[in-house]
């Protein structure tokens, strides 16, 4: 796995905050796309180090529902919901996700755009995550967005490697 660029820009209240990443995988696009879109794989890599995903619903189609309960190492559950806006098989995913507070209300929403391109069996993944709505509770959580995505993408790389050795060609 080759890791490339990451960048972030922040605004004090979180609204308009954006992080962008580019990752290169020594794996075919079809496999990288599958590891990103198959809920069984996704549950293995989504979230920062030390997190698990006891609930991982990921309906990859336009209008499809997202619900992930991330469990921290302290046992606390961090629920997230969302929906897919655009799905172009093997090429592009656009989805909005919202972190929920203890009353089940969104603290912020993020529009995520993920693209996949392949050249000679090497896949380049780009991810842009932009905060589109934000409440007064959001900034404390948004501070960790760049680190969270960085660690998630590191975990994605591990899952892609695992899939390379176990998935049929």
**pLDDT at position 9, please?**
47
pLDDT in tens, 81-122: 999 999 999 999 999 999 999 999 999 999 999 999 999 999
Average pLDDT over residues 45-73: 97
CB 46 within 8 A of CB 59: no
**How far is CA 31 from each of CA 106, 137, 158, rounded to the nearest angstrom?**
32, 37, 13
Q: Which domains does the chain have, with CATH numbers?
A: 2-164 (3.30.530.20)
Check pLDDT > 60 for residue 11. Answer: no
Tokens of 3: 């890791």
**How far is CA 53 from each of CA 57, 62, 81, 133, rounded to the nearest angstrom?**
10, 23, 13, 24
**pLDDT at position 15, please?**
66
Whose CA is closest to 157, among 20, 22, 7, 9? 22
**pLDDT class of 38 with cuts at 50, 70, 90:** very high
Tokens of 20: 């962008």
**pLDDT at position 144, please?**
87
**pLDDT class of 13 with cuts at 50, 70, 90:** low
**How far is CA 54 from each of CA 44, 93, 106, 134, 147, rounded to the nearest angstrom?**
10, 23, 20, 26, 21
Whose CA is closest to 3, among 163, 165, 151? 151
Tokens of 154: 């590191």
Check pLDDT > 50 for residue 154. Answer: yes
């Amino acid at each position: 796995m080759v890791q490339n660029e990451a960048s972030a820009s922040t605004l004090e209240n979180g609204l308009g905050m954006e992080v962008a990443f580019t990752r290169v995988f020594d794996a075919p696009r079809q496999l990288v796309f599958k590891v990103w879109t198959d809920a069984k794989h996704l549950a293995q890599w989504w979230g920062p180090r030390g997190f698990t995903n006891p609930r991982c619903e990921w309906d990859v189609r336009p209008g499809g529902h997202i619900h992930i309960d991330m469990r921290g190492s302290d046992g606390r559950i961090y629920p997230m919901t969302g929906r897919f806006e655009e799905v172009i098989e093997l090429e592009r995913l656009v989805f909005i996700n919202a972190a929920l507070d203890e009353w089940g209300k969104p603290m912020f929403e993020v529009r995520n755009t993920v693209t996949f391109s392949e050249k000679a069996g090497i896949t380049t993944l780009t991810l842009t995550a932009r905060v589109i709505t934000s409440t007064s509770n959001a900034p404390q959580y948004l501070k960790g967005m760049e680190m969270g995505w960085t660690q998630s993408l590191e975990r994605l790389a591990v899952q892609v490697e695992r899939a390379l050795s176990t998935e049929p060609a």
